[in-house]
Amino acid sequence: MSLLAARGLVCHFGGLRAVDGVDFDLGAGEIHALIGPNGAGKTTLVGLLCGRLAAQGGRVTLGGRDITRLPAHRRARAGIAYTFQITSVFARLAVFDNVALAVQSRGAADLGAEVMAVLGRVGLAERAGEPAGTLSYGHQRLLEVAMGLALAPRVLILDEPTQGLATGEIQGFKALVRGLVPATAVLLIEHNMEVVMDLAARITVLEAGRVLATGTPAAIRANRAVQAAYLGG
């Protein structure tokens, strides 16, 4: 059974069907990538999965439980963490305090130790005392990942996480994501196809609000419709 599943999801804005009858499955302990051209509906689909947008049709389940009508904060408590495409750190707070807010929200026993452990996983432990707003854009992205991890999620949704990262930082990021499974399932929305092909066990391709294809990296790379729509083949 899928850990996170969608069936027949619909979301439209006026006459535009941004998500048009989408079925989606994320398995437990899976790294699953979501790709597609700009305007394909990726961010809208993610908003429907994490509760930031209300579905106008279809349903979403987490571990078999229907969460379609749950708001975002209740889905977060149920185990879905989402990092935004645009950084949403608290710029004036210290790096430590940004993560502490997330750890505190789930009533952790040893706040300081858990915060430092999470910062260590993303390579920011030495910057714990610095204001978050002084970090480079790439490091702010990593801080946001740390804030997601601090919630101890069952599902971590990463929206363009490598944007702004240097080549060496991307290698570290890939190692970080691999280390999350099987305890955490990861849904990755990413334009860097090298990262996608290297990390994902399965890939779903969206086009015009619909699923164009789902399969292994090899199958997606060989798919002629995907090549024409997105990969430039």
Please check the confidence at residue 86 and state whether its pLDDT lies above 80: no
What are 146's two structure tokens?
């740390």
Using CB atoms within 10 A of its CB, is residue 13 exposed (0-12), middle (13-18) or buried (19+)? exposed
- Give the distance from CA 74 to its chain's centroid: 17
User: Cβ–Cβ contacts within 10 Å for residue 78, how many?
Assistant: 16
Asked if residue 158 lies in contact with residue 149, where contact means CB atoms within 8 angstroms, the answer is no
Query: Which tens digits make up the pLDDT trace of 61-85?
Result: 999 999 999 999 999 999 999 986 5
d(CA 38, CA 35): 9
SS3 88: coil
In CATH, 31-52+71-231 is 3.40.50.300: yes
pTM of the shown model: 0.91
Q: What is the mean pLDDT of the chain?
A: 92
What is the pLDDT averaged over residues 35-44? 92
Alpha carbons 226 and 213: distance in angstroms, whole number:
7
pLDDT at 233 over 60: no
* CA 160 – CA 78 distance, rounded (Å): 23
Q: Where are the domains of the chain?
A: 31-52+71-231
